[in-house]
């Protein structure tokens, strides 16, 4: 089946996410994937420089992940998770908790990143509600934050073109300044009163907001102040988790540990959809009562789906291998070598690296932002060159599977400089 055939059938029936169909009516039909490569139905190869929207950590078509999911499918594909449990879920929870700071003791399952965030917010608000505290109803988040696309998660995102049609329907969230502005953030946090239940943040890197990086020391101070005020701290590690930043989790760079953490994306190696929200024993205990009204009223049909748990366990097997960490370190050092060659570049600005993530802005004089006019030019240029790279406005970034080969990285770097050269 050719590209054209499948693309036109798609265009007749499918509504794609984050897509303006009038401007971009045609989607590229992908037939298969292997390692860092995707192949369309005509056999054209694309290097997946963004891990298919940040989920794929170990490469496409990984035989070990596929085998483990297949084995699980033959054993048990799905079971209700209220009143029932299964080995893959328990094993995943035990193994994951062993990699986290000691204050984390409970794992709650959901379906994706946004739902993991919804659960975190419900945990924080109900933690206080269950104790009869009616004052703590507000949430703190950062400017430029992104926490997902469901209504609660949208409320936590900084006002932007993403949420504009719904802005008046969202619940009230107080936005701290950008975490890059340490002093202003600390001042704002210091002024927070007893009406706040929680502070949610993307630790060290604000992803969808433009791969904005900030200092661990800033976050440490903010968490410390929040803690003193009884504000629960929620780390949204949906993008940063599972080796992305060069350590298991971004919070591993922090001295102060959060009370709640959200995972999804890299959790299953990009194999299956799943979200997790982990919390301290203190938070879990606040839901214990003879009164059923104090329990967590949250569930999805596929909560703790055994296939997703099996994928996550298999991905953990790979994460625990020395060679995965060697790949992560290798990708980071390749990024640094490339960054050193463009320090004086007239157009590629603000080059920054954290672990396997490399980001920079293409400066054309226009204000930065998601709807920047250069975005489509960048996207199309790289696609034509066989690279899947989805810029955030004029922000170019690489966030590739850890197994990406040096040769592919060198090819992407070369195309970044060639694209910029074309603008000079």
Q: Does 354 bind ligand PLP (CB under 6 A)?
A: no
* Residue 289 annotated as lining a ligand binding site: no
* Rounded least distance, CB 163 to ligand PLP, Å: 13
DSSP per position, 188-221:
HHHT--TTEEEEEE-SSEETTTTSEE--HHHHHH
Least distance CB 45 / ligand PLP (angstroms): 26
Q: Is 397 in the site for ligand PLP (CB under 6 A)?
A: no
CA torsion 287-289-293-297 (nearest 10°) is 30
Q: Does 114 bind ligand PLP (CB under 6 A)?
A: yes
In the complex, the smallest distance separating the C-beta of residue 360 from ligand PLP, rounded to whole angstroms, is 19
Question: DSSP 3-state assignment of 108?
Answer: strand
- Is 248 annotated as a binding-site member? no
Q: Where are the alpha helices (DSSP H) in 22-80?
A: 51-54, 63-75
Q: Which stretch binds ligand PLP (CB under 6 A): 107-115, 247-255, 331-339, 340-348?
A: 107-115
Is residue 258 close enough to count as binding ligand PLP by CB under 6 A? Answer: no
146 is in an annotated binding site: yes
How far, in Å, CA of 78 to CA of 73, rounded? 9
For residues 152 and 282, what is the distance between their CA atoms, to the nearest angstrom?
24
| Minimum distance of ligand PLP from residue 291's CB (angstroms) | 32
Cβ closest to ligand PLP, residue 107 vs residue 420: 107
Query: Cβ of residue 240: shortest distance to ligand PLP, in angstroms?
Result: 7
Q: Which is nearer to ligand PLP, 112 or 324 (CB)?
A: 112
Size of the site for ligand PLP (CB under 6 A): 14
* Residue 263 vs 413, nearer CB to ligand PLP: 263
DSSP bridge partners of 317: none
**Under 8 Å between Cβ of 134 and 195:** no
- 299 annotated to a ligand binding site: yes
With binding defined as CB under 6 A, does residue 207 bind ligand PLP? Answer: yes
Q: Of 368, 342, 401, 17, whose CA–CA distance to 210 is shortest?
A: 368
Q: In the complex, which residue's CB is closest to ligand PLP?
A: 113
Q: Does 395 bind ligand PLP (CB under 6 A)?
A: no
What are the CA-CA distances from residue 351 to residues 166, 216, 341, 385 (Å)? 34, 18, 11, 22
Q: Does 109 bind ligand PLP (CB under 6 A)?
A: no
Is 301 marked as binding a ligand? yes
Binding piece for ligand PLP, criterion CB under 6 A, among 96-104, 234-242, 301-309, 334-342: 234-242
- 402 vs 51, 65, 72, 82, 278, CA distance in Å? 9, 15, 25, 36, 25
Residues 134-163 that bind ligand PLP (CB under 6 A): 146-148
Are residues 277 and 123 in contact, defined by beta-carbon separation less than 8 angstroms? yes
Per CB under 6 A, 56 contacts ligand PLP: no
CB of 52 to ligand PLP, least distance (A): 12
The rounded distance, in Å, linking the Cα atoms of 179 and 186 is: 9
Query: Smallest distance, Å, CB 8 to ligand PLP?
Result: 28
Identify the residue among 29, 59, 113, 266 touching ligand PLP (CB under 6 A).
Answer: 113
Nearer to ligand PLP, 238 or 328 (CB): 238
The tokens describing 70, both together, are 């297949």
Query: Residue 364 and residue 361: Cα distance in Å, rounded?
Result: 9
Region of 347 on the Ramachandran plot (φ > 0 left; ψ -120 to 50 alpha; else beta)? alpha
For 191, residues 6+ apart whose C-beta sits below 8 A from its C-beta are none
Q: Is 189 a binder of ligand PLP (CB under 6 A)?
A: no
Q: How far apart are CA 290 and CA 228, in angstroms?
A: 30
The strand ranges marked E within 264-347 are 275-280
The answer to the question of whether 325 is labelled as a binding residue is no
Should residue 112 be labelled a site residue for ligand PLP when binding is judged by CB under 6 A? Answer: yes
Residue 265 marked in a binding site: yes
Q: Is 95 annotated as a binding residue?
A: no
**Known binding residues for substrate:** 53, 146, 265, 299, 390
Q: Which residues bind ligand PLP (CB under 6 A)?
A: 112-114, 117, 146-148, 202, 207-208, 236, 238-239, 264
């Amino acid at each position: 089946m050719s590209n054209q055939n499948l693309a036109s059938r798609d265009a007749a029936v499918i509504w794609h996410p984050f897509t303006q169909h009038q401007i971009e009516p045609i989607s590229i039909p992908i037939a298969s994937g292997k390692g860092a490569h995707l192949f369309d139905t005509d056999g054209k190869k694309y290097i997946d420089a963004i891990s298919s929207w940040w989920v794929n950590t170990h490469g496409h078509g990984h035989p070990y992940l596929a085998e483990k999911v297949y084995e699980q499918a033959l054993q048990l594909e799905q079971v209700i998770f209220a009143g029932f449990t299964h080995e893959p879920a328990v094993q995943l929870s035990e193994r994951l908790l062993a990699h986290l700071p000691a204050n984390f003791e409970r794992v709650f399952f959901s379906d994706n990143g946004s739902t993991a965030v919804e659960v975190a917010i419900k945990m924080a608000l109900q933690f206080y509600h269950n104790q009869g505290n009616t004052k703590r109803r507000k949430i703190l988040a950062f400017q430029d934050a992104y926490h997902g696309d469901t209504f609660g998660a949208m409320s936590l995102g900084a006002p932007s073109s993403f949420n504009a049609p719904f802005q008046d329907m969202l619940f009230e969230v107080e936005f701290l300044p950008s975490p890059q502005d340490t002093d202003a953030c600390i001042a704002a946090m210091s002024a927070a009163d007893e009406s706040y239940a929680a502070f949610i943040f993307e630790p060290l890197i604000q992803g969808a907001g433009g791969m904005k990086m900030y200092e661990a020391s800033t976050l440490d101070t903010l968490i410390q102040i929040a803690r003193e005020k009884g504000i629960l701290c929620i780390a949204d590690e949906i993008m940063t988790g599972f080796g992305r930043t060069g350590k298991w989790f971004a919070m591993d760079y922090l001295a102060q540990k959060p009370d709640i953490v959200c995972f999804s994306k890299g959790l299953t190696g990009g194999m299956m959809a799943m979200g997790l929200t982990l919390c301290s024993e203190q938070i879990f205990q606040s839901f214990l009562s003879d009164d059923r009204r104090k329990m967590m009223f949250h569930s999805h049909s596929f909560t703790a789906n055994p296939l997703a748990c099996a994928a996550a366990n298999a991905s953990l097997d790979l994460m625990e291998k020395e060679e995965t960490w060697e790949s992560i370190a290798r990708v980071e050092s390749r990024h640094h070598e490339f960054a050193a060659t463009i320090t004086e570049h007239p157009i590629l600005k603000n080059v920054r690296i954290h672990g396997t993530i490399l980001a920079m802005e293409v400066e054309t004089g226009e204000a930065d932002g998601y709807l920047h006019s250069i975005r489509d030019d960048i996207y199309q240029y790289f696609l034509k060159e066989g690279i899947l790279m989805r810029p955030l406005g004029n922000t170019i970034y690489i966030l590739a599977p850890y197994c990406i080969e040096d040769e592919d990285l060198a090819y992407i770097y070369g195309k970044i400089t060639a694209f910029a050269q074309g603008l000079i």
